[in-house]
Structure 1
Amino acid sequence: MPPKILIVDDEPDILELVQTRLELAGYETIAAESGEEALKSFFTARPDLALLDLEMPGMDGFELCERIRQMSDVPIIFLTAFGSEDHRVKGLQVGADDYVVKPFSKNELVARVEANLRRASMPSIQRDEQVYADPVLTIDHQAHMVTVRGSEISLSPLEYRLLTALLKHPGQVLSHNQLLDLAWGPNSSETSTDSVRLYISYIRGKIEEDPKRPRLIETVREFGYRYVRPLGNTERAAA
């Protein structure tokens, strides 16, 4: 059975164009012209990936992305005419995995869909260990539940993959490119190390007591990052 792609756009011409391109590439598509309609379709059809327009009347793409993230970690790609850094950053913050700016080529669209589906099908890092625990952080990999100092936190799929990549190599420095491979996937179209820095800052904001003075995720200048496993009941200061 081919993967199902939910396509959401309030412009019928764009909706039809994207549907045609993806169906020719062998995908099954579900179309919706509003965020409300898309949410209903998501519940009933359970797609493998969602392509969301940003600007829509009523529920916009940002809100729709957040609502989907409350119930699923399927790949989400924003497909929008808004290509500014602010829009892209906000899109990633609310849980999107990728961002394609209109106008786009047929090959780019299909390649982005294929790459995100491929990453989603990769085995989770540390899947062999059901639970990771240290004095600060606990992760139930089967339930994708993360707790910090006893309180559950919410991580986007990319944040989760990036954090678990660091946890699998405690004390080991991982370069920006290694983290891109581990979290985004070796075939990802994402090549900017700025994305790694951005997501590290998001994770620090959720797990560090003082994100401006991080003790868990340590920066190794001009190389990358490492997770400093806490000893006992206190966090070890960064070297």
Structure 2
Amino acid sequence: MTGRIFVGVGGWSYAPWRGTFYPKGLAQRRELDHASRRLGSIEINATYYSSFKPATFAKWRAETPDGFVFAVKASRYCVNRRNLGEAADSIAKFFAQGLEQLGDRLGPINWQFRETQKFDAAEIEAFLRLLPRETGGLPLRHALEVRHPSFKDPAFYDLARRRGVAVVFADHADFPCIDEATADFAYARLMRTREDAETGYAPSALAGWAERARKWAARGDVFIYFIAGAKARNPAAAQALIERL
């Protein structure tokens, strides 16, 4: 069965989007409402830096329409550490915030490793064993965003596959680009939008991403985010890809 394809951006509060993606004069408190009705998903980046109250997650859910999904970036305290296998307390604290208040809007959790984090099979396996299968009765899907070339290793892919964890596909000049089917969903972060392209990526490139997205969807849901790069262009890139799909 073909999965659903969710396309979006990272975050929703960004000043250069006001007057372009957001209509001039739109109140900031209505930006999530606006964005969630034009995009299929948003990756919440603020959860990497800060913790939130359950009421905040419930508010975000209430402001978004049926069918919309958030990806959530895990706290930096879970992943920026000497030994990932010792992250149990930080992981528990991250989920204790009340992510379950997102309800059916809760999509994958992105565990973004530091660029200096190297692949160590025992350490990564210990970390993967700490990731919960559910929170508040909601099933969880996990994705690992690795940034060190040592992760381009079949041993890593096997570990991820055994735990049903996706490996984030990164379109970035410096990060490893890994396209491995290790889970029943795909997660991509496209980080090379350009200011000189009205839709961030050239039309031919967007056509290529649409084709790749359809191939990923053959094995399950797909989550694609335009992140970083020429950030002002990211909403236009996301909307252009949605049109092609």
Q: Which TM-score applies when normalising by structure 2?
A: 0.28
Q: Which TM-score applies when normalising by structure 1?
A: 0.29
Question: Taking CA–CA contacts closer than 8 Å with sequence separation of 6 or more, which of the two structures ends up with the larger relative contact order?
Answer: 2
CA radius of gyration, larger in: 1
